[in-house]
Structure 1
Amino acid sequence: MAFKFNFLLSATLLIVVIAFTFCHVSAVNNDRKLLNSFPSNGDWQSIKDIDDPKVMDIAKFAVNVENSQLLVKLEFLSISDGRFKVDNNGITYELSILASEFEEPIELEVVVFENSKDNAKKVISVDDF
């Protein structure tokens, strides 16, 4: 009886590990499809689909970080342009975004780095122009 229980427990655990690994690999592959190619030379590449949810997430993250550091409330509106470059540590995004402050539009240039190991994001700079 104990052998059968241990076997079922082990089999269930193995299935969970395989499913988790598949989901993780699938998510990584989706990110790579978004950027179309990962040049290893670190050259800037244009983002083909600036409306992609992954790119939108990066832009909204930058606005949220800026809001946490300022006394005003910026509202994310859209992305007008973007590019990225890949190095051994992760992906750096440079996005031109439109936000609003007290219903006045503001154009921002944001640079966000996303670590390839844990997908942690860090805002490098936010400049208005």
Structure 2
Amino acid sequence: MAFKSNYLLTLSMMIVIASTFCHAFTVIDSRKLLNSFENVLNTLDPSISNDDWKLIKDPKDPKVVDIAKFAVNSENIISPDVQLRLESVLSGRFRVDNNGTTYELTIVAIDFDEESEYKTIVFENYKDNVRKLISITWIKRKGINN
């Protein structure tokens, strides 16, 4: 009888210890994912002073046009029913932080012969030298004041 209760006690303790370790590793992995995602989101946090944003002086700058092309190409990959073609960059602003640069651009793109304005936000990570399309939003059809 004593052997049976010791065996059950030992087995119970092993299960508790194993589940504790599994839970701890899951929490650590979740934190890694959460923290990496928060780093990108924090670059767009509007609670930080808007003074951090700087205007892009030349929307025709090759770097700015390259960011806009990346946004359009990424949207075309994400949404196969949309086939945008970049026409021009109208204006933009950027913000630099420890993780990289966030660009907010107003662009003109053509989709099936219809010219429209879009706002796009792209994050460029310095450490990994990777770009990520945060959003692209239709504003209005070109030439129509809504």
Does residue 92 in structure 1 map to residue 110 in structure 2?
A: no
Please show how residues 1-129 of structure 1 align to structure 2 within 5 Å.
Answer: 43-70=52-79, 71-129=81-139
Higher-Rg structure is: 2
SS of residue matched to 2:52: coil
Residue identity opposite 1:74 in structure 2 = L
Kept in 2, the 8 Å contact 1:84–1:92? The answer is yes
Q: Which residue type is aligned with residue 114 of structure 1? A: E
Deviation at 1:119, TM superposition (A): 2.1
Residue 118 of structure 1 deviates from its aligned partner by: 2.8
Normalised to the residue count of structure 1, the TM-score between the two structures is 0.66
Q: Distance in 2 between matches of 1:86 and 1:109?
A: 19
Gaps of 5+ in 1: 1-40
Cα deviation, 1:81-124, whole Å, max 9, x if unaligned, reads 00000000000000000000111011110000000123210011
**How many residue pairs get matched?**
89
TM-score scaled by length of structure 2: 0.58
Distance 1:50 1:117 in 2: 25
Q: What does the per-residue CA deviation read over 1:38-92, in whole Å, with 9 as the maximum and x for residues that have no partner? A: xxx9700001111111110000000000001111211100000000000000000
Task: Percent identity, please.
Answer: 56
Aligned-residue Cα RMSD (Å) equals 1.4
Structure 2 regions of 5+ residues with no counterpart? 1-49, 140-146
SS in 2 for 1:88: coil
